Amino acid sequence: MILREVIFEKLKHNQYEGLVNLEINCGCTLDDFMTCEGPLDNCQAGYVKKKGGVAKGYRPHHKPRIYK
């Protein structure tokens, strides 16, 4: 298995909807997975943010930690 397949299967198994990167405001779903040529350093498991049943962006699986 290549890295892309391993990440895809892990996300699917844990019922995530894709990846999200809050630093560059981007995300991908399992339907259009890693069209950016691979996960970036700040990608994390996440979900599609919906409002009224319509996709409005992405959210991580937890609140990002802020270190000071």
Burial class of residue 31 (count of CB atoms within 10 Å of its CB; 0-12, 13-18, 19+): exposed
Residue type, 7: I
Q: Give the structural domain span for 49.
A: 3-60
48 falls within a domain: yes
44 falls within a domain: yes
66 falls within a domain: no
Q: For the chain, what is the domain count?
A: 1
pLDDT tens digits, residue range 5-17?
Answer: 998 999 999 999 8
Q: What is the pTM of this model?
A: 0.73
15 falls within a domain: yes
67 falls within a domain: no
E-strand ranges in 1-68 read 18-21, 26-29, 44-51, 54-60
Grade residue 63 by pLDDT with cuts at 50, 70 and 90: low
**pLDDT value at position 26?**
83
Alpha carbons 51 and 22: distance in angstroms, whole number: 19
65 falls within a domain: no
